[in-house]
């Protein structure tokens, strides 16, 4: 399925370059598609870090693009700028894991725009969507109270004033090529509607292979988290608890790493992710903290 889509995209891309070549003024030389060049050079893993928190040290973000934008107006109101706050870790916006994440003074309501299944999205359309020229300005008045949508705190920000094109291409690459389709990994069961609905997760790991997942954990995670995942207290949870309760965040954090901690990125395929989730959601092998 994914391969077919990729081939289609490749084919359309070649066709596009071909057509451009035909219509170019100098006739023979096909013009270079600069969007494709930028996309090819982009880094999906860094895109995932930016999606979490672009102000973190690991992302390569240094200062806002527009010199009149004050960084402190972003860092003091982070949840109005973190992609994950409005579109969620599972990209399902208010229709998945964040169905009951209501707005507070310090964070806006979760958006209704899902960013799932972007594999066949046009890279230029995606780039422009993220750049959001003319979108929400960096302004403390706009982000003063998330519970008052009239202030516009829930608008997609004008990232052109904040992020370089290079970093925006990393985000494009992450959403198109890097982000996992969580429906392939587990079932999300939602009841009701945002912000009063509820969510649960089942069939964690789908048809994954638990033995392979145990082996993956032993060689990539156990040195820090302990053999049974109880070696580090992660917000009162063991690895097993986290996989059972915050299922929607595991696939993200494994790829991205945990910003600000020694946990770096782990390279993993979707099949290995299924194996891992299947393994670590097992309560006998990965119990709660002791
Ligand atoms: C404060 C909430 C908020 C934040 C933060 C936010 N978005 Fe959005 N986003 C929205 C809303 C609302 C829309 C729909 C309206 C629009 O396009 O302006 C949207 C639209 C989009 C679209 C276009 C989708 C489509 O189908 O047209 C993309 C892509 C996107 N966001 C990606 C991102 C990325 C990547 C980030 C982080 C760099 C981000 N968003 C941060 C609220 C947010
Ligand atoms: C180099 C050590 C190290 C390795 C390797 C490592 N982790 Fe972590 N992990 C950490 C640390 C440190 C934290 C943060 C603990 C805290 O909350 O302060 C963490 C946090 C987490 C969290 C919680 C994230 C959150 O949002 O709170 C999860 C889930 C997790 N790790 C899963 C894994 C998995 C799965 C692997 C293997 C693919 C792995 N880790 C590999 C050290 C590591």
Domain that holds residue 7: 1-32
Residue 63 is assigned to a structural domain of this protein: yes
Residue 39 is assigned to a structural domain of this protein: no
- Index of the ligand 2 atom closest to the CA of residue 266: 38
CA dihedral 234, 238, 243, 247 (to 10 degrees): -30
Q: How far is the CA of 263 from the centre of ligand 2 (A)?
A: 5
Q: What angle do CA 150, 52, 96 make, to 5 degrees?
A: 65
For ligand 1, residues with CB inside 6 Å are 51, 80-83, 85-87, 108, 111, 113, 115, 126, 129-130, 132, 135, 154-157, 159, 171
Please report the pLDDT score of residue 26 as a whole number.
56
Total tally of structural domains belonging to the chain: 3
Same domain, 122 and 1: no
Please report the pLDDT score of residue 30 as a whole number.
78
Residue 196 is assigned to a structural domain of this protein: no
Same domain, 172 and 56: yes
3-class secondary-structure state, position 243: helix
Residue 240 is assigned to a structural domain of this protein: yes
Whole-angstrom distance, CA of residue 286 vs CA of residue 290: 11
**What residue's CA is closest to ligand 1, atom 27?**
129
Give tens-digit pLDDT for 156-203. 999 999 999 999 999 999 999 999 999 999 999 999 999 999 999 999
Residue 144 is assigned to a structural domain of this protein: yes
Same domain, 112 and 238: no
Please report the pLDDT score of residue 29 as a whole number.
75
Please report the pLDDT score of residue 58 as a whole number.
97
- Index of the ligand 2 atom closest to the CA of residue 221: 37
**What residue's CA is closest to ligand 2, atom 16?**
234
- Index of the ligand 1 atom closest to the CA of residue 174: 35
Lookup result for tokens 């782990």? 266
- Index of the ligand 1 atom closest to the CA of residue 153: 1
**What residue's CA is closest to ligand 2, atom 37?**
221
Residue 187: in which H helix or E strand, if any?
A: strand 187-191
Instruction: List Cβ neighbours of 184 (8 Å cut-off, separation of 6 or more).
Output: 206, 270, 274
Same domain, 14 and 51: no
Q: What is the CATH number of the domain that holds 209?
A: 1.10.760.10
Same domain, 145 and 170: yes
Q: Would residue 266 be called left, alpha or beta, if left means φ above 0 and alpha means ψ between -120 and 50 degrees?
A: beta
3-class secondary-structure state, position 185: coil
For ligand 2, residues with CB inside 6 Å are 220-221, 223-225, 232, 234-235, 239, 242, 249-250, 253-254, 258, 261-263, 266
Same domain, 86 and 128: yes
Same domain, 164 and 246: no
Q: How far is the CA of 46 from the centre of ligand 2 (A)?
A: 17
Give tens-digit pLDDT for 136-145. 999 999 999 9
Report the share of the chain in percent with pLDDT over 90.
Answer: 89
Same domain, 227 and 98: no
- Residue ranges for the chain with pLDDT beneath 70: 1-27
Q: How far is the CA of 265 from the centre of ligand 2 (A)?
A: 10
Burial class (CB in 10 A: 0-12, 13-18, 19+), 125: exposed
């Amino acid at each position: 399925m994914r391969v077919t889509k990729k081939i289609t995209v490749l084919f359309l891309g070649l066709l596009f370059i071909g057509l451009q070549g035909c219509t170019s003024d100098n006739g023979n030389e096909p013009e270079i598609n600069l969007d494709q060049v930028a996309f090819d050079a982009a880094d999906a893993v860094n895109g995932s870090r930016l999606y979490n928190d672009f102000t973190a040290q690991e992302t390569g973000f240094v200062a806002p693009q527009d010199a009149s934008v004050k960084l402190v107006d972003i860092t003091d109101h982070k949840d109005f700028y973190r992609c994950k706050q409005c579109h969620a870790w599972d990209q399902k916006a208010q229709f998945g894991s964040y169905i009951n994440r209501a707005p507070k003074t310090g964070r806006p309501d979760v958006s209704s725009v899902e960013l799932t299944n972007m594999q066949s999205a046009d890279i230029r359309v995606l780039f422009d969507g993220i750049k959001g020229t003319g979108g929400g300005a960096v302004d403390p008045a706009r982000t003063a109270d998330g519970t008052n949508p009239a202030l516009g705190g829930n608008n997609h920000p004008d990232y052109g004033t904040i992020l370089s094109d290079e970093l925006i291409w990393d985000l494009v690459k992450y959403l198109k090529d890097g982000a996992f389709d969580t429906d392939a990994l587990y079932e999300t069961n939602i009841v009701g509607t945002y912000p009063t609905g509820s969510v649960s997760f089942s069939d964690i790991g789908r048809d994954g292979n638990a033995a392979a997942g145990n082996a993956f954990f032993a060689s990539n995670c156990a040195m820090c988290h302990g053999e049974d995942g109880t070696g580090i207290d992660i917000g009162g949870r063991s690895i097993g608890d986290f996989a059972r309760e915050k299922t929607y965040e595991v696939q993200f954090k494994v790829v991205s790493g945990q910003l600000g901690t020694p946990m770096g990125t782990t390279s993993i395929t979707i099949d290995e992710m299924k194996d891992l989730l299947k393994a670590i959601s097992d309560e006998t092998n990965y119990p709660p903290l002791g």
